[in-house]
Structure 1
Amino acid sequence: MHPRPSSIACAGLLVLPMLLAGCSARHGADQGNAQVAQRAAGPARQLAYEHEVDIDTAPERVATTQAAGLRACRDATAAACTLLASSIEGEPNAAATLKFRARPDVIPKLVAAMGQHAELARQATRAEDLSAPIVDAARQVAMLDDYRTRLEALRTRAGNDIEALIKVNHELAEVQANYEAAAGKRALLAQRVETEILDVSIRSERHRSFWTPIGRALREFGGHLAEGISTAITGLAYLIPWLLLMSVLGWGGRRLWRRRRGGKISAG
């Protein structure tokens, strides 16, 4: 006598937690073996690099320097360089910023392209070790993939049992959502390791002439004077009510003092 499909499906549903626990235990054993092998071979570090570059140039060449960086990134393939942010400010405070994500071999080309029109003032590099997050993400993806395969097998065995199919499909939907999230996280971590960030700041501090700040101050004199007058008028508007209040209080206090003094004289 063969078991009914509903009995098989219900039995399959009862082992769902056992499947997950068994999957976790198996991957825990795999992780232990992997850790032993890693200790023997030495840790492979996954580093994500970020570079900061400050470039100084003449005020009239800030836009040219920024354009050179944009052109160098555009000349590379889309997979090799991506522009993440860009801004520029005109005179009197000429400045620009750029932010790229590029392959390690493209980063020096970007800096060299902008260095043709300017002077490299400062360069800094920092790294973040993503070895542990990458291993955790890969382990989670593998565990969810295995669990999803087992759930699909249970769905096949469920046959025409609608209730069992609903439960399995619901569990499959949750596992699929978690799998896609974990896979996306793993892909993002891999991208951070395979590519690097370059933050560029273009200034014109060293190349400004002696008269540049003076000329700027003269040009802004009218505006500063207007702001000073407006501030004084605003302060006066706040001060007038207090002056009136102090005058009334002073007048009342003086009258009260005179009245008390007159009373003392009459009593004497």
Structure 2
Amino acid sequence: MRFPFLLSIALLTLPGCGNHAETSSLAVPAAAVQGQSPGEKRAARNPSIAYEHSLHLDVHEDKIGSVYEAVQAACREATADQCVLLESRLDTGNHASATLRLRARPTGIEKLLTLLSIQGGVTHISRTAEDLAQPMADHSRKLAMLHDYRSRLEVLRVRAGSNIDSLIRINKELAQVQNDIEALDGEIARLRQRVETEILNVHLDAVHHRSFMRPLSQALANFTSHLSEGLSSAITGLAYVIPWSIMLFVFAWGAGKLWGRSKRARARHDLGREDR
């Protein structure tokens, strides 16, 4: 946030700011708690807590694709729970697996967890919580100050009258303040959405439900490719071995020649000594 000379002028008459803005835009009405499920009541009792769940499910490898589609279909149908698919990935290769990342209201997350729990064995489940009270309070306080500053700038613009130079600078500052207000409004909306909804990360894998014949069939299916890779590696290795073999042969042949000459020279020397 920029604070030029106009801000200094406005702050001279600015009364002490209270914390009334902190409870305005991010508070949950008490009447909305009535008739809610335990998950929604939990979120209402903790209006500044953002929850994120992680679920690992062991599913038969032939059913990973169907469970993956079922979760997406359930999310599409949960419009009342504001369910949104944030990320998805499906791997149907040698090791089938899938991951999904969803966002929904607490009731929608509970429905998805119930749906997933009957699709396979739960191998891991966890929940993390993030307290967003401080950033929510900071943004609300900054937004209240910006609104007050904009009001004072508008008063200054009226007082400026026909002073063109002052009007230009005031309008420029008003445009900057408006941009700051819109940015903070967007951030507050993101935080509000984060505490009113929850994140669910789903990991589908076939750890204990993998077919006995699948590794064998995969090995047979990959036999020709592995054979070609082995032959190519052998040929590549041979290309490296041949030059070294030639060099070693030449070295051994030369060393043998030198050894033979040295041996014959010593023999002649010994014979000469015997003759003397």
TM-score by length of 2: 0.74
- Paired residues of 1:59 and 1:91 also in contact (CA < 8 A): no
1:26 to 16, 37, 42: 16
Aligned to 2:73: 71
Q: CA deviation at 1:149?
A: 1.4
Structure 1 CA distance, aligned partners of 2:13 and 2:233? Answer: 74
Aligned to 2:215: 213
Residues 238/21 of structure 1: CA separation in 2 closer, same or farther (3 Å cut): farther
Q: CA deviation at 1:247?
A: 6.5
Residues 243/142 of structure 1: CA separation in 2 closer, same or farther (3 Å cut): farther
Identity of aligned pairs, percent? 41
- 1:15-53 residue CA offsets vs partner (Å, 9 max, x unmatched): 531424765x723xx249x8xxxxxxxx96711111111
User: Which one-letter code corresponds to 1:99 in the other structure?
Assistant: R
Q: CA deviation at 1:230?
A: 2.4
Instruction: Report how many residues are paired.
Output: 243
Aligned to 1:17: 8
- Paired residues of 1:69 and 1:111 also in contact (CA < 8 A): no
1:27-176 alignment, distance < 5 Å: 27=17, 30-31=18-19, 46-77=48-79, 80-176=82-178
User: Which one-letter code corresponds to 1:66 in the other structure?
Assistant: Y
Structure 1 CA distance, aligned partners of 2:201 and 2:9? Answer: 50
Structure 2 CA distance, aligned partners of 1:232 and 1:183? Answer: 65
Structure 2 CA distance, aligned partners of 1:160 and 1:110? Answer: 63
- The SS at the match of 1:106 is helix
Q: CA deviation at 1:116?
A: 3.4
- Paired residues of 2:47 and 2:196 also in contact (CA < 8 A): no
* Structure 1 gaps, min length 5: 1-12, 35-42
Structure 1 CA distance, aligned partners of 2:246 and 2:182? Answer: 71
- Paired residues of 2:55 and 2:124 also in contact (CA < 8 A): yes
TM-score by length of 1: 0.76
- Paired residues of 1:73 and 1:81 also in contact (CA < 8 A): yes
- Paired residues of 2:58 and 2:120 also in contact (CA < 8 A): yes
User: Which one-letter code corresponds to 1:222 in the other structure?
Assistant: T
User: Which one-letter code corresponds to 2:7 in the other structure?
Assistant: L
Q: CA deviation at 1:229?
A: 2.5
- Paired residues of 1:44 and 1:131 also in contact (CA < 8 A): no
- Paired residues of 1:103 and 1:194 also in contact (CA < 8 A): yes
Bigger CA radius of gyration: 2
Q: CA deviation at 1:113?
A: 2.2
User: Which one-letter code corresponds to 1:71 in the other structure?
Assistant: A
1:218-257 alignment, distance < 5 Å: 218-238=220-240, 250=251, 254=255
* Structure 2 gaps, min length 5: 23-44, 270-276
Q: CA deviation at 1:148?
A: 1.3
Structure 2 CA distance, aligned partners of 1:210 and 1:129? Answer: 46
